[in-house]
Structure 1
Amino acid sequence: MLKKPEHVLVLGAGPAGLTAAIRLLEAGIQVTVLEKASKEGGQCGTTTFEGRHGTYRFDYGGHRFITHNAQLLKLVEELVGDDLLTSQRKSVIRFQDRTYDYPLAMGNILKTAPTSLLIGAVKDLALLPFGKPNDDNFATWITSRFGKALYKNFFEGYTAKLWGIDPVDLSADWAGQRISLLDLKDVAKRLLPIGNDTPRTYARSYRYPKHGFGAIFERMAQKVEALGGEIIFDAAVDGFDYAANKISAVKAGGSSYPADAVLSTLSLPYMVNMTGGESPLAFRGLRFFNMPLEMDNLSDCTWQYLSDPDIIATRLQEPKRRSPFMAPKGHTSAMLEIPCDPASGLWEMDNQLMFAQACGVLNKLGINSAAATGEYFSTYQRQAYPLMTVGYEKNRANAITHLNQFENLIQCGRQGTFRYIFTDTSMEMGQMAADALISEKDQCTTIYEHRSERTVIETESVA
């Protein structure tokens, strides 16, 4: 790492980039933030839609602020103030015309699941192998712990739809980071309504700004500018000047910006490819189809997981469940999360055709699509999820090794470290990256692996 820089170029005005910018500015370091979009927030932004009945707000996905970091919580509370609400989350799983509680509950399973599934799960419980489970890929990770019946019903189709690949080609890391129960025997033990072993589940309570998740980052951007930093929008990074072990300038929006140091949240493979290397790492995209509804409430669920493979979406969300200010009084809205990749049929589908598909999904779920106002629009995220295929670890390590040659470059954030992480972890990475520049200490390895434990706050247990 070079000596403490006087000026840092921050690439990306999302959670990690803005958090880093604030930390650097408070340490007296000049900061310029380059952002390719026309506003801040990245994947955590909020879109405003002016409909016939008033203003609707839609996030880029299902965001909520949860953290165990008191310092980070204090920052967000100070920035958002009284506009930071405390909300309650309720989720369900919709599968084959049945609705399951999420997390799973014994009574609900016995009442809801078909007899064939229960019999299959019991048989699998008796047949599960002893010893070390098979972690060759996602499919073997699940079947060696939960059995074939649960895998076929709840995991196989949904996972293939979400990622666009066969689950046997998906790394077991995805399961290890998202499902914390050890095996079906553990599930059975936890589901029994006896004893004092109360499983820790996902966080039901969370903080959320009254006008959408993006408000956090709008306030952060204002703080960056108040501290003397500069944010340049519509400035997509399209090149670097570099030699040996240093990046000397960043090219963006037709201009060149000299660099003492570069703190980047741009995707790991993009940075490799733009600095003379090659990386096959890829991402899974999401299309969000947003539509107002002439009804007071869609349901009492924040979101519904849509496990049927023939339904194009993986989740149905109702923004109003997070904040009543996300839709006009007496109205609500729906957002369908549709996993697809740029240039694919679902990505390119005309909005009018997609509206017909969306109405079909609502009807299948028992929601009267006649409540739709006929207004709709799509938003997109090209790099929503890092695609963790079997063997991705080697490609990720190679990418990190390539970028580590530049002593004045630090990567952080979800795309920047190729990690499926939540907002608070991205923000912590931004703070860590800024601290590394301030202290002149090489913290790259620590940042890349920050919060890499096998359990995630939101999904501590599925039982």
Structure 2
Amino acid sequence: MNIRILGTGMAGFGAAYRLRQEGVKSDLYMYDKNAYIGGHTATFETNDGFIFDDGPHISFTDDKRIQDLLADNIDHEYETLKATVNNYWKGYWIKHPAQCNLHGLPSDLIVDVISDFVEAKHKTNGHIVNYKEWLYAKFGKTFAETFPMVYGKKYHTVDAENMDIDWLGPRLYQPDLQEVLKGALEPSTPDVHYVDKFRYPTNHGFAHYLDKFTSLAQIKLNHKVTGIDAKERLIHFNNGTTTDYDELISSIPLPELVTNIINDVPENIVEAGKKLACTSCIIVNIGIDRNDFTEAVWSYFYDTDIIFTRLSFPHLMSPNTVPDGCGSIQAEIYFSDKYRPVDRNPEECIKPVIQDLKKCGLLTEDDNILHTSTLFIKYANVIFDLDRQEALKIVHDYLDDIGIRYCGRYGDWGYLWTDEAFKSGENAAQQVLDNKLSTREI
């Protein structure tokens, strides 16, 4: 049985792991367009001693099976950290989440937020159809328009009224009135962020979690898929090679898969694929000669005149991500083909990022910047706009019909965390197993 897995990220290795755990003995082949494994969970070590991931990644799963599996993969050498998170708004640093940590903000704003919050709790909202309506109903107009709607536009690139709400889960904490009042009156509040503690590898960055998985399959790097013939069950690569398959598991982004790769896709499927929107992200990495500029592991930025949406600080995840005594910053700037096309080269973002870090007080004119670099992530986060659900069903139904299994953030086209992406790969592998068992081919 020729099983091919496209992608070597968490989802791809989740598929390989499940197949091996269930006793598949045949050769497994995994393919990646890059010269390295990891996909969206890749890690890059610089020549000057800094380590940066492909965007911020942590493991905070409550699933003990996944906890133990990942810990075993790195010989239990990991850091356990408290998720210290804050927000920046117009010169104010606010504990996260802002909705129950209003202390220190302008009194007029606090009064308006609380007044609207109380009013919202006594309104009958009817059927809520978009993110803007949900925010108004849960937090009131003032808070919604001052904080999450502004941040959401920076992060998702789309207005709140054009987003659905099936992505929310625990991401936006919903306090009661007592919590809001206490957070306005008292400088210290209980921690209510959905991430309490998390793990991060002590050495080699987040992708170190994947290293032991490489023994599960034969991995072919520098193999970008250029065509899939689902009828003949053939995969074509940009290096001129071709391979056949009995079963195919893909973590390739769905729009790429149905608009550029699979042969002879019906036009309605292509059009549905084009409606699936995703952000792209320019990452700016900064290394400096000190590490005392923040206690937050990551920070959110609401101001529209600040170029970055979120910062993370790798040196706080593990001291081994930086040279001794140094600190590091990773800034995220979001775009999307559908709503905010990329309008600059990644390198052009370095200077404004440094300027805004100084504006926020995280850097000073006296800081010695030791490292700068950039990454461009074409597929960063799925945009949960109002086109997504219908288009996604059309694409998934088509892939089901032609027997291509999909997995991962860009195969499921969802907001998947590390453990969820791994399990998504396992689920795709289980579909392969179930299919073969039903046809008595195993």
What's the TM-score once normalised by structure 2's chain length?
A: 0.87
Give the aligned partner of residue 15 of structure 1: 10
* CA-to-aligned-CA distance 1:306-340 (integer Å, 9 cap, x gap): 11111111111110110010100011111111112
Give the aligned partner of residue 375 of structure 1: 371
Give the aligned partner of residue 198 of structure 2: 206
Give the aligned partner of residue 458 of structure 1: none
Give the aligned partner of residue 127 of structure 1: 119
Q: 5+ unaligned residues in a row in structure 1: which ranges? A: 1-5, 444-463
* Aligned residue identity for 2:279: R
Distance 1:187 1:172, change over 3 A: farther
* Aligned residue identity for 1:9: R
Q: 5+ unaligned residues in a row in structure 2: which ranges? A: none
Matched, 1:234 2:222: yes
Give the aligned partner of residue 257 of structure 1: 243
Matched, 1:361 2:347: no
8 A Cα contact 1:91 1:301, kept in partner: yes
Q: State the shift of 1:176 in Å.
A: 5.2
Match of 1:59 among 53, 71, 87: 53
Matched, 1:270 2:256: yes
Counterpart mapping for 1:27-426 below 5 A: 27=23, 28-51=25-48, 55-104=49-98, 108-110=101-103, 112-128=104-120, 129-132=122-125, 134-175=127-168, 178-181=171-174, 185=177, 188=180, 201-210=193-202, 211-221=204-214, 223-224=215-216, 229-243=217-231, 248-253=233-238, 254-273=240-259, 274-275=261-262, 276=265, 277-278=269-270, 279=273, 280-341=275-336, 348-349=344-345, 351=347, 353-366=348-361, 367-373=363-369, 375-407=371-403, 409-426=404-421
Hey, what's the Cα distance between the residues in 1 that align with 2:437 and 2:160?
Answer: 37
Hey, what's the Cα distance between the residues in 1 that align with 2:437 and 2:343?
Answer: 40
62-71 vs 340-349, which deviates more? 340-349
User: Which secondary structure does the structure 2 equivalent of 1:122 belong to?
Assistant: helix
Distance 1:290 1:164, change over 3 A: same
* Aligned residue identity for 2:253: S
Hey, what's the Cα distance between the residues in 2 that align with 1:163 and 1:388?
Answer: 8
Matched, 1:433 2:428: yes
* CA-to-aligned-CA distance 1:143-194 (integer Å, 9 cap, x gap): 122111101211222111112222222223344563252x765864896999
* CA-to-aligned-CA distance 1:405-436 (integer Å, 9 cap, x gap): 123x2111100010011010010111122222
160-169 vs 412-421, which deviates more? 160-169
Q: State the shift of 1:241 in Å.
A: 1.1
* CA-to-aligned-CA distance 1:252-293 (integer Å, 9 cap, x gap): 232111011001111122222233131221210111101110
* Aligned residue identity for 1:68: D
8 A Cα contact 1:138 1:174, kept in partner: no
8 A Cα contact 1:342 1:382, kept in partner: no
User: Which secondary structure does the structure 2 equivalent of 1:36 belong to?
Assistant: coil
Give the aligned partner of residue 446 of structure 1: none
Distance 1:126 1:90, change over 3 A: closer
8 A Cα contact 1:134 1:144, kept in partner: no
Distance 1:132 1:307, change over 3 A: same
- Could you tell me the percent identity over the aligned residues? 22
Distance 1:176 1:80, change over 3 A: closer
User: Which secondary structure does the structure 2 equivalent of 1:429 belong to?
Assistant: helix
8 A Cα contact 2:255 2:276, kept in partner: yes
* Aligned residue identity for 1:167: A
Distance 1:22 1:64, change over 3 A: same
* Aligned residue identity for 2:391: N
* Aligned residue identity for 1:248: R
* Aligned residue identity for 2:418: T
User: Which secondary structure does the structure 2 equivalent of 1:376 belong to?
Assistant: strand
Give the aligned partner of residue 20 of structure 2: 25
What's the TM-score once normalised by structure 1's chain length?
A: 0.84
8 A Cα contact 2:118 2:177, kept in partner: no
Runs (4 or more) in structure 1 with deviation over 4 Å come to 183-187, 189-194, 342-347
8 A Cα contact 1:360 1:369, kept in partner: no
